[in-house]
Amino acid sequence: MNQSLLKQTQIKSYNFPYSAHQYQLEIHKALDEFRFVTAVAHRRFGKTECAIASLFTAAIHETKPDGMYGYIAPFLKQAKQIAWRKLKRYVSETFGRDWKAVGIQKNEAELWVQLPNGARIQLFGADNADAIRGLYFDGIVIDEIADMRPDVWNAIIRPALADRQGWALLIGTPKGMNELYKFYQRGLNDPHWKSLLFSATTTNLPWLPPSEIKALEEDMTESMFAQEMLCDFQASSDDVLFKLVDLDKAVKRQMKLSDLTGAARVIGLDVAGPGKDKTCLTKKQGLMVWPQMMFKNMKTPEICDVLAAQMIQWKADAAIVDNGYGFAVVEQMQRRGFSNVYGVDFGGTPSQPQYANKKTEMVYRTKKWLDSGGKLPNDPDLMQEASAHTVRLNEKGKLEVCKKDAVKDVIRRSPDKFDSLIIANAFDIVPLIVHPFQNATEPANVMQSQMFGGAGHVQDYDPYDQ
């Protein structure tokens, strides 16, 4: 793993030509703690400078024999234009004009430098990725992996890091929800990875003052500015239904309790299948969704016990259950006397002809619910799952949402929370009774800290207990 650059720059025996700004330091510190780091940053952030500094400082302090470090760009010519001059500057400014006298070697044709301790730093292009096969690396930087062949990481780079337990830093700027997005998402879920994102509006770099950022915004198209400067992966993705900016607004949205009076209380239940999936229960009334409940390794009778308790306690008007793995739950609940428990088939026939299946219709119903003022709990997992869903026009001219496996490939888990949310929006439910949320003891506004302060805080709330 990379040594702390903060400590390395304080070593007085070298005139190190690099002073990291505070956001670059976040990347270096992440490399201290994690073996794999994905850093997504806006244009003019200093990504390449940070990357070369990481390689150079790690190589110069390498203690293993024949240390090997690499920088990979989509094309070899691109790697030379971007990084070769910077790497040579690091050599000359660190060791002075007499760098040859201390044992430094340099090869202009093969784009490598070898330091006095025998560690080598070499530039590569993914356009000839097979040239990397058979090599090993103690550390590597991958610049704009989205512009490389999809198998470069799995088939070539990752095996090259195995025998030396090497580290990897992936850097880039968004260009849609591509390979870089997948690795960024991985860093949000995998304990061995770390993901960082730096937007131009949050870094406050001296060479990009607010006036310059504003000028860029005026000159660039809206989607281009969002992508290049705000690091919005979805800026150029017309097939993404749930934009992160809209989901963020739904989380921050404030509502009045009186707005919910008379709205049906609906529970959506996504029952887990085999493996790592979890059963998720969503409670929705009108335009508001409560923090979701997650359950693991529960059998059908136990799930029915939980659902029955929630329906009675919350006085739910209906519960909708995925008929896939939840068919037995629907059947057992109805045998228990809960006639207001309904099943829904994701692959079933939609009520509107423009949709390819019932799931797609449920997703669009949820989108319309959100656009009409729906409020979501502050749950990054739910936002991530929603934003990973894309839609296309299939060969029959029908709107069709992406398959579940495609979402799993992006977020590396089952989208159980999002599935539970769309189940809660599957049908129009007529309330059995009027639910008078507004009362003398409740404040007029539903504050985010009160309603979504944590799981269980509002889930047990019942206005009839007042």
Q: Which domains does the chain have, with CATH numbers?
A: 5-228 (3.40.50.300), 244-465 (3.30.420.240)
Q: What is the pLDDT of residue 437?
A: 53
Whole-angstrom Cα Rg for the chain: 27
Q: Is 371 helix (H, G, I), strand (E, B) or coil?
A: helix
Cα(99)–Cα(15) distance, integer angstroms? 12
> Which own/partner contact pairs does 283-287 have at CB distance under 8 Å and 24+ positions apart?
283/310, 283/314, 283/316, 283/424, 283/459, 284/421, 284/424, 284/425, 285/260, 285/435, 285/437, 286/259, 286/260, 287/255, 287/259, 287/260, 287/263, 287/369, 287/372, 287/373, 287/374, 287/375
**DSSP secondary structure string, 58-83?**
HHHT--STT-EEEEEESSHHHHIIII
SS3 for 143? strand
Q: For the beta carbon of residue 141, count every other beta carbon within 10 angstroms.
A: 27
Distances (CA, A) of 384 to 29, 186, 195, 203, 452: 25, 11, 14, 23, 18
**pLDDT reported for residue 219:** 79
Would you give per-residue pLDDT tens digits along the chain (466 residues)? 454 444 444 333 456 778 889 999 999 999 999 999 999 999 889 999 999 999 999 999 999 999 999 999 999 999 999 999 999 998 888 887 777 777 889 999 999 999 999 999 999 999 988 889 889 999 999 999 988 887 899 999 999 999 999 999 999 998 877 789 889 988 988 899 999 999 998 998 999 899 988 888 887 778 778 888 999 887 766 678 898 878 888 998 998 877 788 899 999 999 998 777 799 999 999 999 999 999 999 999 999 999 999 999 999 999 999 999 999 999 999 999 999 999 999 999 999 989 999 999 999 999 999 999 999 999 988 988 998 898 988 888 889 999 999 888 878 789 999 999 999 999 999 998 777 654 433 444 443 333 333 333 233 333 223 2
pLDDT of residue 15: 61
Q: What local confidence, expressed as pLDDT, does residue 313 receive? A: 95
Vertex 238 angle, CA 235 and 239, to 5°: 120
Give pTM, 2 decimals: 0.61
pLDDT at 439: 42
